[in-house]
Structure 1
Amino acid sequence: MSLPTPRAILFDLDGTLADTAPDLAAAMNRLQLERGLTTTPYHALRPFASAGARGLIGVAFGLKPGDDGYEALRVAFLDNYAASLAEQSSLFDGVSLLLQELEQRGLAWGVVTNKATRFTDLLIPQIGLQDAGCVISGDTTAHPKPHPAPLLEAARRLNLQPQECWYVGDDLRDIQAGRAAGMPTVAAAWGYCGHAEPITWEADALSTTPHELMALIQRSLAQ
């Protein structure tokens, strides 16, 4: 599919730019051990890493926001995660090259994540994303994704119109937020993707690797 020529590419963080699932899963497993429980296998937790505490607690404890005990688990999990959020996290293969190519072509790039600022600000420089043109966290605006506010704020900080930015993410909320903001959307099929096939999210395009995404961008620039 042909997409409008972008002036900037905005990315989700967890599961799109960075493979943070190992540290998130480790924090959840520590929480289970602290409560004398058997740990949840990594392969069961990984698909829900993009959903953060909500998704991981749902898998590990079978609880959802509003349930008795959920909030205490959420606080304890986030404390565990803050203590070791960059021990195993790293950029996905091909992401560093993708970002270098964007910069070489004069395209801005930024991060729009639902991760809270206290985690984002610690993680970004430790995994090599300190050159982002903007970083929008889940609590930067009044509403997190799937609300369009974080993406609109990112475009504002880059001095661009929303339609001049593409948004790339591996979760349904990413695509919903991008569409609501009026941005072309790309589903990052190399990410966690929850329990659904990303192609069902009605994204404008689907990329299976960062290299494939760069090829999509190059085709758009050549139009």
Structure 2
Amino acid sequence: MIMTKHKIKAILFDMDGTLMNTLDDLTDSTNHILGKNNLPKRTKEEVRSFLGHGIRWTIAKAVPEGTDENIIDKCYREMLVYYKKHSMIKTAPYNGVKQAMENLHKEGYKIAIITNKAESSAKKISEKFFGDMVDFTIGDDEVTPLKPCPENIYRALKNLNLTKEEAVYVGDSEVDVLTGKNSSMEMIAVLWGFRDKEILLKNGAKIFANNPLELEKEIKKLG
């Protein structure tokens, strides 16, 4: 692999809704845990709206309002175990994503994944679908604050030995837009994920990609 001559040397990707369509497996796993605990199940669209802030947030939103915190914690712990074993049943990269990743990798861009998904599940998915195209994956380790806190972005930049001006962050949600802002980084919002363009615009997104080919072009426009 050659080192890119572009100003932008690395792409930091969100995972869910950006690289991977994980909605079906997340919905099925969430509803399995809810049913196991005699709680009402949720629709796929409801689960979609709960995603972005990590699994505990998703579970806390999925349970009925006013549910005891101990029940939420129990469901969260059960979800971590269950989802890790059922995270790649229906999950797959969005159409065109893998080819775009291969193109960027061949051109010398460093690639990392920064996600609020549990780190063990995120690494498992990344290794299966992207292999050595991804330099490393950072997820929820239950210690470091999650996005939109920029701490994991800074960890990634440090690992890559790059400045924020030499990288771009790519995501699909308002959490990702705010992550870009909080990191003082260029951010590209993809429109094939879990949020509509209106929500992204409302939160300050300025650069958009309708498909992975457009994403490649937008990255190269940055220099």
Superposition TM-score tier, normalisation by shorter sequence = 0.7 to 0.9
Alignment partner, residue 94 of structure 1: 96
AA of the residue aligned to 1:39: K
Provide closer, same or farther for how the CA distance between residues 55 and 111 of structure 1 changes in structure 2, counting only shifts above 3 A.
same
Which residue of structure 2 aligns with residue 125 of structure 1? 127
Q: State the 1:46 CA deviation.
A: 2.5
Q: Which moved more, 1:122-131 or 1:163-172?
A: 122-131
Alpha-carbon distance between aligned partners in 1 of 2:162 and 2:143, rounded to the nearest angstrom: 18
Matches within 5 A, 1:17-56: 17-56=19-58
The 5 Å alignment of 1:67-78 reads 67=69, 69-78=71-80
Q: Take 2:142 and 2:40, find their aligned partners in 1: how far apart are those partners?
A: 36
Match of 1:180 in 2: 182
3-state SS of 1:51 partner: coil
Q: Look up the match of 1:142.
A: 144
Contact 2:173 2:194 in 1 (8 A): yes
SS of the residue aligned with 1:69? Answer: helix
Residue segments in structure 2 that go unaligned for 5+ positions in a row: 1-5
Aligned partners of 1:54 and 1:64 also within 8 Å: no
Looking at structure 2, the residues matched to 121 and 219 of structure 1 have their Cα atoms a distance apart, in angstroms, of 30
Partners of 2:197 and 2:53 in 1: how far apart? 11
Instruction: Give the drift of 1:58.
Output: 4.3
Contact 1:57–1:64, Cα closer than 8 Å, also in 2: no
Q: For the Cα contact (< 8 Å) 1:11–1:109, is it kept in 2?
A: yes
Do residues 193 (structure 1) and 195 (structure 2) align?
yes
Structure 1 counterpart of 2:98, one-letter code: S
Q: Closer, same or farther in 2 for the Cα pair 1:197/1:186, shift >3 Å? A: same
Work out whether 1:115 is the aligned partner of 2:112.
Answer: no
For 1:91 and 1:48, the matched residues in 2 are separated by 20
Counterpart of 1:159 in structure 2 is 161
Does the Cα contact within 8 Å between 1:50 and 1:194 map onto a contact in 2? no
Which letter maps to 2:205? A
SS at match of 1:187: strand
Partner of 2:17: 15
Hey, what's the Cα distance between the residues in 2 that align with 1:87 and 1:215? 32
Tell me the alpha carbon deviations over residues 39-96 of structure 1, each in whole angstroms, 9 at most, x when there is no partner.
Answer: 3222322233333324432443234898452211211222221221111111111111
Q: Which amino acid aligns with 1:79?
A: V
Residue 50 of structure 1 aligns to a residue in which SS? coil
SS in 1 for 2:189: strand
1-structure distance, mates of 2:66, 2:175: 17
Q: Tell me the matched-pair count.
A: 218
CA distance, structure 1, for counterparts of residue 210 and residue 143 of structure 2: 30
Q: Quick one: percent identity of the two aligned structures?
A: 25
Q: CA deviation at 1:114?
A: 1.4
Is contact 1:171–1:192 with CA below 8 Å preserved after alignment?
yes
Deviation at 1:11, TM superposition (A): 0.4
Greater shift, 127-136 or 5-14, is seen at 127-136
Aligned-pair Cα RMSD in Å: 2.6
